[in-house]
Amino acid sequence: MRRHPLSWPARTGRHLVLATTATLVAVPFVWMLSLSFKAPSEITAGFSLLPQHWHAVENYTLALTASPLLRFLANGFAVCAAILAFQILISAPAAYAFAKLRFPGRQALFALVLIGLLIPHQVLALPLYVLCWKLGILNTYAALILPFVVSPLAIFLFRQFFLGIPDDIIHAARLDGLSETAIVFRIMLPMALPAVIAFGALSVVVHWNDLFWPSIAITSEHLKPPTLGIIAFRDQERGSDYGPLMAAATIVVLPLLAAFLFAQRWFIAGLNAGAVK
């Protein structure tokens, strides 16, 4: 079906809505970057986007030296990478089973996966904390990783993508002697690369920015992820040092921004391909 082009008022209105939304999203980040360049006296003096006296070197130097921010960043990279790897290793075979295999209880099990999408992670915090305590992994990297190795979102997204892959490809792979596991990781996952990248971007953003669970499971300084590391610049007695705090927040946000800009093409394609059919 051929689409009729939108009239100029409709195009203008659409672009106006998009520009307004983009501005509202970008303003906090621009303001954060602006504050990271300012001296303490200018931060509370009033609204001005550009600083009168640049204090960027001092703020960013203090952000990197007042606390082990680089260690926090390394912890964040390691934890997010481990969580994503386990999520793909576990979710891809499960999604393949739901999409291409026939077995008793398949629909009921998939309904449980959909229910898992509706349950906030905070609801499970107490049983997860007790489980980690029973396993003796509190205040370890395992406590940051284990609760998230199974992702209902990944199972759902991969299943939707796998449904669009022809069954003839799977039958041909079986005739060539490939096992079901080999089909998943050598055929299905490479063909579902946009979905993998889309989910990877979502997973990394969620766990990189997670403050709730690390604040419960971690007490050691050397295990803290970036979100907990930023709190080191808050002081209830002397007040927060907003310049270095904003500089540290900017440093923490930059890897996410770079990763998303790099993967945005695959991210959009993966979300479109994994939409409900």
Domain segments of the chain as ranges: 8-57, 62-273
Q: pLDDT at residue 2 above 70?
A: no
Kindly report the CATH number that applies to the domain delimited by 62-273: 1.10.3720.10
Percent of the chain at pLDDT exceeding 90: 33
In tens, the pLDDT along 27-81 reads: 888 888 888 888 887 877 777 777 888 888 888 888 888 888 889 999 999 999 9
What is the model's pLDDT at position 63? 85
Contact 242, 43 (CB under 8 A): yes
Q: How many other CB atoms are found less than 10 A from the CB of residue 169?
A: 13
What is the model's pLDDT at position 236? 46
How distant is the alpha carbon of residue 64 from its chain centre?
A: 24
Residue listed under structure tokens 């008022």: 9
Q: pLDDT at residue 136 above 80?
A: yes
What is the model's pLDDT at position 276? 45
Of the listed ranges 70-84, 86-100, 229-243, the one predicted with least confidence:
229-243
pLDDT band at 272 (very low <50, low <70, confident <90, very high): low
Bin 95: left if φ > 0, else alpha if -120 < ψ < 50, else beta. Answer: alpha
